[in-house]
Amino acid sequence: MKVWMINHYAVPPSQPSGTRHVSLGAELVKRGHSVNLFAANFSEIGQTEPHAARRKGIHWEQVLGVKVGWLPTPAYSDNSWGRGWNTLVFALRALRLPKHGSDRPDVIYGSTPTLFAALAGLLTARRLGVPFVLEIRDIWPQSLIDMGMSRFHPFIASSAVIERYLYRHSDAVVMLMPNAEPHLVAHGASRERIHWIPNGVNFDLVPPFVPPSKKDVLELIYIGDFGGGNNPEVILDAAAKLQQRGGPPMRFRIIGHGSGLPAMLAKQAALRLANVSVEPPIPKIQVYSLLSQADIMLAPYSKLSVHRFGVSLNKLFDYMAVARPIVFANDASNHPVLDSGCGLECPADDPEALAEAISAVAGMSLEERWKLGLRGRRYAEQNHDFARLAAKLEAILAGASLSAQSA
């Protein structure tokens, strides 16, 4: 098959953030398919290809066998109008992708959370007469409503219309959240067309995992966004409580980016946390070597109503890949850390509960923590290896293509 993927925020392993679509595409290429991935050359993550601001046409790059086409989009520094304009420009560029030629796809795979990009993928598929498979990485606009936006806001209202249109007219729907099916069906998706493919790990990027060494100071690492559904700020409150209590010496490293960074730095200064460092994000290709330095991984999530659909966090499976125990602050409907037996879970947005969970794992022996890490590694290999997940995606794309041919 010739597959086109459209994801506004796709990045290569040389950049920070998740590399889901590059990894899935690379596995499809290994299975004999041709994959073109279209992404924006600028997003809040940063410039994703050299000299992005000066590009006028598509810039092509080969990444792990995937042909990545960077669509030119305007740079921005804020999180509202500039980002919105960037989003619309990307969707308009995606609508103008080539109609003919040897690269004409057999199927288009369009991803959210940017509904406009997914809609552009669906409309392009219809123009080219090929099937469209929708991927739902976040439940928009419900996630935005749960975070405080009015359902009567023009952006929310228009997004709700697009959401229903996408669910009704896609040839198949792939969801990342394990319990989102009732929402999708209630908003127009056909139950028999819904499939679950969670986030995963590209084990080709993961160096051999090794047991942690004995240290005088335990190292705890969080890596991810500052904002959205994540709540790394609660780590600072928990660290302050642990600092007051005494106990095993600990060093907290909070690594990432996002709109919550100023608040993080202000709170760190106010709490006078000498044992906490807030650090910039690093490329995905370097993440696993960094995580291997940790003794305990932290994944604090905010308490949001939308988490009733479940969560599928990149960071959890990256943590599992290097075989380290995890403390997961989570009020979602699924519990991957408990299911895998690789650590402890505690309520979200609760510094005291987080501090208690950290103390419990820190109080374990080196061997006990290693056993937890090994359970997580096995769980990730069995359930979240992109090689396995790509096989499921291949079947879905092939099924949509065959259905379209026989229609």
pLDDT in tens, the chain (407 residues): 999 999 999 989 988 877 999 999 999 999 999 999 999 987 665 555 544 545 577 889 999 999 999 999 888 776 667 777 888 899 999 998 875 445 789 999 999 988 999 999 999 999 999 999 999 998 888 777 777 787 888 888 888 899 999 999 999 999 999 999 999 999 999 999 999 999 999 999 999 999 998 889 999 999 998 877 789 999 999 999 998 887 789 999 999 988 788 888 888 889 989 899 999 999 999 999 999 999 999 999 888 888 899 988 889 999 999 999 999 998 989 999 999 999 999 999 999 999 999 999 999 999 999 999 999 999 999 999 999 999 999 999 999 877 766 65
Question: pTM for this structure?
Answer: 0.91
Tokens linked to 326: 């995890």
pLDDT of residue 407: 57
What is the reported pLDDT for 50? Answer: 47
Q: Are residues 272 and 335 in the same domain?
A: yes
CA dihedral 58, 59, 60, 66 (to 10 degrees): -80
How many angstroms from the chain centroid is the CA of residue 69?
Answer: 20
Residues 295 and 193 in one domain: no
Q: What is the number of domains present in the chain?
A: 2
Residues 235, 252: contact at Cβ < 8 Å? yes
Statement to judge: residues 300 and 156 lie in one domain: no
Residues 350 and 395 in one domain: no
Task: Determine the Cα–Cα distance for residues 318 and 256; give it in Å rounded to an integer.
Answer: 14
236 and 141 both lie in a single domain: no
Residue entry with tokens 């009704």: 168
Instruction: Check: CB of residue 268 under 8 Å from CB of residue 383.
Output: no
- Nearest by Cα to 307 from 328, 285, 283: 328
E strands along 41-166, which residues? 42-43, 46-47, 59-63, 66-71, 107-111, 132-136
* Cβ atoms within 10 Å, residue 96: 10
Containing domain of residue 306, as a range? 204-383
Do 148 and 233 fall within a single domain?
Answer: no
The reply to whether 181 and 119 lie within a common domain is: yes
**338: Cβ contacts below 8 Å, ≥ 6 apart:** 345
Strand ranges, E, within 258-353: 276-279, 296-300, 326-329, 343-346
At 8, which amino acid appears? H
User: What pLDDT, on a 0 to 100 scale, did the predictor assign at position 97?
Assistant: 87
* Domain at 392, CATH number: 3.40.50.2000
Same domain? For 161 and 230 the reply is no
Q: Are residues 61 and 131 in the same domain?
A: yes
**DSSP letter assigned to residue 201:** B
Query: Is the same domain home to 162 and 228?
Result: no
Q: Are 250 and 362 in contact (CB under 8 A)?
A: yes
Same-domain status, 77 and 99: yes
Same domain as 393, residue 266: no
The token duo for 164 is 């229903």
Pairing of strands 326-329, 296-300: parallel
